[in-house]
């Protein structure tokens, strides 16, 4: 039986653009996951102190930010490219982080000043949280807007969409979410139930009622209804067990060794990095182009792309010197090591041969043009290679066949050699193949990535210097950024991710995120009033360990759905984000607290 795999010149682009549709169903799953996580992590056993509405509104405000920014960008006419479909997943994860930090400092303020009025409580909350949130938002937004300087339009769109979304996210957290906190506080003050907002009374004969009644109406199963809730159990865990465990000197030694292994592994990975995109990755896994690429690799792997050589302007083909010039150019192109000269296809050669045999005359303009139909009778397909009007030939094309183009390096060299040779020709030539747009990536990807990362890291340093009043702390933050970038770049190689425009975006984002984790902890460490370094470290962890962990989990939940996507682009996005968050959280919760105690 026959098996046919097919491909058209538009296939690649159409399949690539079709990817976005496959991700849309995953949005709903992500929203569901994030809302569930937010609610669960804000649950309290008391029906009055329950923060379910806060959690929901936090997620809603992130959703509103996505809507606002996408609306604004589309209104301004910024192109919506496939990579932008990743943005909402990110913003959801990050927007929720800000909410957790706000809630954490609000609860801390209410514990410190029991009886003070709402105004001073909210002022205190903003004083605590706003700095942290502002630093992280500023660094993220900067990372994205620096990303817009790249040479890749798709990266530029992505960065514009996400950068704007982060700005909206910040505005909504600072305005909308603050208001929600106050409303929630008023409900708590009035002893109202979290769901129905009905006042919850404390009965005298409460003891006789069943445990179920108490749980529903009073909110505690125990007999006494305690209004003031103690610290969150997770904060206590960080304070009592986690902090002291990591400040033990043997454990510290272990952490240093661990870090050494991490760094060694990453640096080894960085030397193994592969650049270039495998074109089959642009399509969906179920796409019809995948089997075509597979068959092509299996049976025709010796042949590279069939390159079109176009004469872009109208020249006098009937003039013999012009014809010799064209022939000379073709021979130069065929002289490149990647080109097989026996497989070229040229209408002009065939036409000249016919004339040499004396079948037709082509020595002046009228004869040359009027005899073309004879050529088309012999080889009909040549009709497609000539663009002629009534009295002249506007443009025409030839084909050359490339061979032995196996790696990204070959593709890079092929492209450079073809373009150089075409440039030296006396007649204006253009070499073209639909895949060249992807080969062009390789020419600039490495320098572009390095440039973006250096600029972004510099910007982060400046921001942290302006906002964090302690220069030592800034050094730590910068160290963490560098360390996380090296880690992500190294380990992405072990996870089969190549360096292409997609992973490049993610590396830039990575900078913004690595700041988030370490900035919070090191800032808390520096501002702590404790005497010894170990105690400061424990205090910083008990204060911010849980929000950082929540933030990490919520961001991973935001992107984890993409692991199930059927497209390489989205899977890559997930892999890199996962590495960034994992290493970022590892630095924030393990490496940085331990290293800070040494200094």
List, in order of start, the domains of the chain with CATH numbers.
10-200+209-219+245-274+440-596 (1.20.1640.10), 288-432 (no CATH)
- The mean pLDDT of 449-467, rounded to a whole number, is 81
Query: Could you read off the pLDDT of 517-552 as tens digits, one per residue?
Result: 787 788 788 877 788 888 888 888 888 888 888 888
pLDDT at 516 over 80: no
Bridge partners of 216?
none
Judge whether residue 198 has pLDDT over 50.
yes
User: Which tokens sit at 230?
Assistant: 């103690």
Three-state SS at 309: strand
Q: What is the pLDDT of residue 434?
A: 87
Q: State mean pLDDT over 478-496.
A: 90
Interval 143-190: pLDDT, tens: 888 888 887 888 889 889 999 999 999 999 999 998 999 888 888 888
pLDDT at position 453 over 80: yes
Distance CA 116, CA 470 (A): 31
pLDDT band for position 492 (cuts 50, 70, 90): very high
Helix (H, G, I), strand (E, B) or coil at 287: coil
* pLDDT value at 494 more than 50: yes
Mean pLDDT, range 501-507, rounded to an integer: 80
* pLDDT score for 85: 83
**pLDDT grade, residue 225 (50/70/90)?**
very low
The pLDDT of residue 495: 92
Cα gap 43→101, rounded to integer Å: 16
Which pLDDT score, from 0 to 100, does residue 172 have?
93
**Higher pLDDT among residues 518 and 582, named by residue:** 582
Residue 204 confidence (pLDDT): 46
Task: Report pLDDT for 396.
Answer: 95
Strands 429-432 and 303-311: antiparallel
Nearest CA among 398, 511, 383 for reference residue 459:
511
Q: Which two tokens stand for residue 591?
A: 């490496």
pLDDT at 559: 86
Closest by CA to 547, choosing from 50, 97, 94, is: 97
Average pLDDT estimate for 202-211: 50
């Amino acid at each position: 039986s026959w098996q046919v795999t097919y491909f058209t010149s538009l296939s690649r682009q159409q399949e690539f653009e079709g990817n976005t549709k496959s991700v849309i169903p995953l949005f709903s799953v992500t929203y569901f996951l994030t809302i569930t996580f937010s609610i669960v992590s804000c649950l309290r056993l008391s029906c009055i102190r329950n923060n379910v509405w806060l959690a929901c509104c936090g997620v809603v405000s992130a959703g509103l930010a996505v809507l606002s920014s996408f609306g604004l960008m589309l209104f301004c006419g910024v192109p919506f490219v496939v990579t932008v479909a990743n943005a909402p997943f990110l913003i959801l994860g990050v927007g929720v982080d800000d909410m957790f930090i706000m809630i954490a400092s609000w609860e801390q303020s209410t514990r410190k000043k029991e009886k003070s009025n709402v105004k001073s409580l909210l002022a205190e909350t903003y004083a605590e949280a706003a700095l942290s949130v502002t630093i992280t938002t500023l660094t993220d937004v900067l990372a994205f807007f620096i990303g817009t300087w790249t040479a890749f339009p798709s990266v530029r769109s992505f960065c514009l969409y996400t950068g704007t979304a982060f700005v909206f996210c910040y505005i909504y957290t600072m305005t909308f979410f603050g208001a929600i906190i106050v409303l929630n506080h008023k409900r708590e003050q009035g002893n109202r139930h979290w769901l129905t907002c009905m006042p919850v009374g404390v009965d005298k004969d409460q003891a006789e009622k069943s445990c179920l009644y108490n749980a529903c109406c009073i909110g505690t199963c125990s007999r006494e209804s305690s209004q003031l809730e103690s610290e969150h159990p997770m904060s206590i865990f960080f304070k009592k067990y986690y902090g002291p465990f990591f400040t033990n000197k043997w454990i510290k030694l272990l952490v240093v060794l661990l870090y050494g292994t991490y760094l060694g592994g990453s640096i080894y990975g960085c030397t193994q990095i592969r650049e270039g995109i495998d074109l089959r990755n642009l399509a969906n896994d179920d796409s019809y182009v995948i089997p075509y690429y597979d068959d092509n690799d299996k049976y025709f792997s010796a042949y590279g792309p069939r390159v079109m050589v176009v004469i872009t302007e109208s020249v006098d083909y009937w003039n013999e010197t012009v014809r010799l010039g064209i022939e000379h150019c073709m021979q130069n192109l065929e002289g490149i090591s990647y080109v097989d000269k026996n497989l070229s296809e040229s209408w002009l050669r065939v036409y000249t041969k016919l004339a040499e045999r004396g079948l037709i005359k082509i020595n002046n303009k009228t004869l040359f043009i009027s005899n073309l139909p004879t050529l088309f009778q012999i080889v009909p397909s040549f009709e497609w290679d000539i663009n002629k009007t009534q009295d002249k030939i506007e443009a025409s094309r030839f084909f050359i066949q490339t061979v032995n183009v196996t790696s990204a390096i070959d593709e890079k060299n092929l492209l450079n050699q073809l373009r150089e040779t075409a440039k030296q020709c006396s007649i204006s030539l253009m070499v073209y193949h639909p895949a060249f747009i992807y080969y062009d990536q390789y020419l600039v990807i490495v320098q572009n990535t390095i440039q973006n990362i250096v600029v972004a890291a510099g910007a982060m340093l400046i921001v942290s210097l302006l906002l964090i009043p302690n220069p030592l702390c800034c050094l730590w933050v910068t160290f963490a950024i560098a360390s996380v970038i090296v880690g992500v770049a190294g380990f992405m190689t072990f996870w089969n991710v190549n360096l292409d425009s997609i992973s490049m975006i993610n590396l830039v984002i990575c900078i913004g995120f690595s700041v988030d984790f370490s900035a919070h902890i090191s800032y808390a460490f520096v501002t702590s009033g404790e005497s010894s370094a170990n105690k400061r470290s424990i205090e910083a962890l008990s204060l911010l360990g849980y929000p950082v962990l929540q933030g990490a989990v919520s961001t991973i939940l935001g992107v984890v759905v993409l692991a199930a996507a059927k497209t390489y682009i989205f899977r890559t996005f997930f892999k890199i984000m996962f590495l960034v968050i994992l290493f970022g959280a590892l630095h924030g919760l393990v490496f940085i607290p331990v290293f800070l105690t040494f200094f």
